[in-house]
Amino acid sequence: MDERIFRDRKDAGRELAEMLRGYRGKDVIILGIPRGGVVVANEIANELNAPLSIIVPKKFPLPGIRSLLSVPLQRMALWFWMKK
């Protein structure tokens, strides 16, 4: 397993952008999630010369469960959006 340690989130974004360099110049939008992910996504967007958008997760209250993040639902929505 490849374990990487990054200096900071900007470094992580640059490393990830390098792995995604095949998307440079393509019709893509980089999505970032607040509390750390936006910094990473910003570096990727800059390196790939792509627009950046932010997704804000929402907690859904369910009986008997304190909180449930919507990230799996966002991934599903993103998958459907990409398929269009």
pTM of the model as a whole: 0.68
**Is 3 inside a domain boundary?**
no
Q: What is the CATH number of the domain that holds 36?
A: 3.40.50.2020
Question: What is the tens place of the pLDDT at every residue in 59-75?
Answer: 666 666 655 555 555 55
Among 12-16, 46-50, 79-83, which stretch is predicted with the lowest mean pLDDT?
Answer: 79-83
Q: Which domain does 27 fall in, by range?
A: 9-83
For the purposes of burial, counting CB atoms within 10 Å of the CB of 65, is it exposed (0-12), middle (13-18) or buried (19 or more)?
A: exposed
